[in-house]
Every structure is written in C-alpha cells, then in structure tokens.
Amino acid sequence: MPVPDASSDQGRWPGESLRATAVSRSYEGVQALREVTVEVHRHEVVGLIGPNGAGKSTLVNLMSGFDRPTSGAIELDGHDVTRWPAHRRGRKGLARTFQHSRSFRGLSVRENVEVAAIGVGARPRDARRRATELLELLGLAARADAPAASLPHGDERRLGVARALATEPHYVLMDEPAAGLPEAEVPDFAAVVRAVRDDHEAGVLLIDHNMALIMDVCDRIQVLDQGRMLAAGTPAEIRDNLDVAAAYLGESAVEEETEA
C-alpha cells in the first residue's frame, strides 16, 4: 500500500515544521532506519507507532540531535540542522523527553524544572514562574519541594514532560511518556498532551504503546516497521489498515480475523 506524503498539509503552517527527510541510520552493518520521512507542524500531535525494534527511538534521537543519520536530513523551521548538536536545537525550540529518567535526582522537583528553563536562557525569576505553572499543569505542585529521586515512576514521567516544556519549545518529542502510568491516569495525561498543542501551540511527536492514548490525542499517525515507514494517516485510517494490524499481530492473525 502506498504511504501518504507526510507533508501533505504543510500549507497550514508555512515554514514552521520539524522534518526528517529520507533519513537512514546503520550501526555496524545493522540498518535501523531506511529512508524515513516524518514531519511535525506547529499546533498538531503526530503519533509515531510500531512494534518493538521498529526504529522509533532511533528516529527521535536523530531528530533531537542525540545522534546523526547515516544519510538524509533534519530541518527545523526551514533550517538544515542535521549537524547541529542537541543543545543548539534546544535553543531553537526543540525539546524531548526520554524513556528513562534524566532528572537531577539530588535536586527538588521544582529545581529540576527551573534548571531546564535556565538552560535555554531564562532568568531565575522567569524560570521559577514557568516551574510553578508547569507543575500545576502536570499535577506535581504538591511535590514541588520533594527530591526528584523520591518520585514514583508515573510522576517521574510527568517531571520529564515539565522539564521539556520549561524550555518553551515549538516542538516536543515525547518518547513513551505514558509508560508505567496507571490506566486511570491516562485520560489526565491525554489532556496534558492536548494542552501542549492547544495552549502552548507546540507540535508534538508522540511515541507510545498505549493505543487508546494515541488514537485519542493524535491528529495524524505514522507507523514504522523494521526501520521503514509502513503507513501514515488519520487515526481512523490507521485503525482500519490491515498492513498495520499485520505488523502488530502477524499475518495469520489478520487473515483469521478477516475471514471471521
């Protein structure tokens, strides 16, 4: 099945997008990504899904500057940033979260958020204001003065999002931010993702294995499988795509379901 062009709606936000174009990445002969193109515009949530090992985190590392592609290009608001380091991209409006916590565990929750803001040039007073607002948004205000090391796993995930938003980004790459969250807390987290898009007017690339979250909050979804882009479309289109179902469940399971 042909993969729709990820840039088909780029006229909505002319000149404002984060784009990976035909990026490939190999490691000692292992091809992790093969000519993958993904584009995220301001004020939208794009889901990036696929089976384990599909190359999702590798792509996020390339887009955020923690790794470089073997071939292809990364553009940020029309500028080629392929060779820019992560901190330079961060100062130009790109932020990310990580699968594993990268908080300063000896600092308080509030201080962690303040440090992130100061890191992109905020003054201490502005950093404190941002921290207060973001901890309230993410339901961490009651833990503001607690050591980051004391946070349970779900709150640690929220802190990672708060640290990313403290940089006032134009684009946020979220790498499995809902992993480990109790199912009852997922709707609240979905509201946070929408607030990033609607209130902060940022574009979001969201990787997560929680399909209910992905289908609920994403405007578009792109699917990776074995390092290649398998499909792209609206949540409804992806839900009904037999190639996507086969990638997750296996060809035989899909055939049995179709025959039934």
pLDDT exceeds cutoff 90 at 20:
yes
pLDDT tens column, 139-168 = 899 999 999 999 888 788 889 889 999 999
- Token reading at 29: 């002969």
CA dist 226 → 80, 194, 230 (Å): 26, 29, 9
pTM of the model: 0.84
> What residues contact 243, with CB distance under 8 A and at least 6 apart?
1, 230, 231
- 200-228 residue pLDDT tens: 899 999 999 899 999 999 999 999 999 99
Residue with tokens 């574009």: 203
Query: What's the confidence (pLDDT) of residue 15?
Result: 60
Q: Determine the average pLDDT of the residues in 97-120.
A: 88
For the domain 10-93+170-259, what is the CATH code?
Answer: 3.40.50.300
